């Protein structure tokens, strides 16, 4: 995670970069499971304290997703909660 990279969330994890005073979209990463038609809102996310290229997201579809933002892909997805995850 560079000091110029930041994130926001909605139904996707949105990665942004600040370059010469301009904000540019880097990626919109979806945590949708295979066969899932609608995107469930992400309820929270946080940067890893041990790896600058990792972000974890939580979703109302009961998933926790670990992202490798350097390669813009899911690294792990935990599907085991029986209720939406808000924290």
Q: What is the pTM of this model?
A: 0.78
Predicted pLDDT of residue 71: 92
Specify the range with the lowest mean pLDDT, choosing from 3-7, 67-71, 79-83. 79-83
Half-sphere exposure of 44 (CA within 13 A, CB side): 7
Q: Give the mean pLDDT of the chain.
A: 85
- Asked if residues 25 and 18 have their Cβ atoms less than 8 Å apart, the reply is no
Tokens 């930041």 found at? 6
User: Which contiguous run of DSSP H or E holds residue 57?
Assistant: strand 54-59
Predicted pLDDT of residue 13: 92
Task: Classify residue 72 as left (phi > 0), alpha (psi -120 to 50) or beta.
Answer: left
pLDDT (average), residues 18-46: 84
């Amino acid at each position: 995670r560079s000091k110029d990279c930041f994130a926001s969330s909605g139904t996707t994890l949105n990665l942004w970069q600040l370059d010469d005073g301009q904000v540019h979209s880097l990626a919109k990463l979806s945590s949708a499971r295979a066969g899932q038609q609608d995107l469930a809102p992400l309820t929270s996310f946080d940067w890893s304290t041990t790896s600058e290229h990792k972000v974890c997201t939580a979703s109302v579809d009961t998933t926790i997703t670990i992202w490798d933002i350097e390669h813009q892909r899911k690294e792990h997805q935990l599907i085991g909660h029986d209720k939406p995850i808000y924290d």
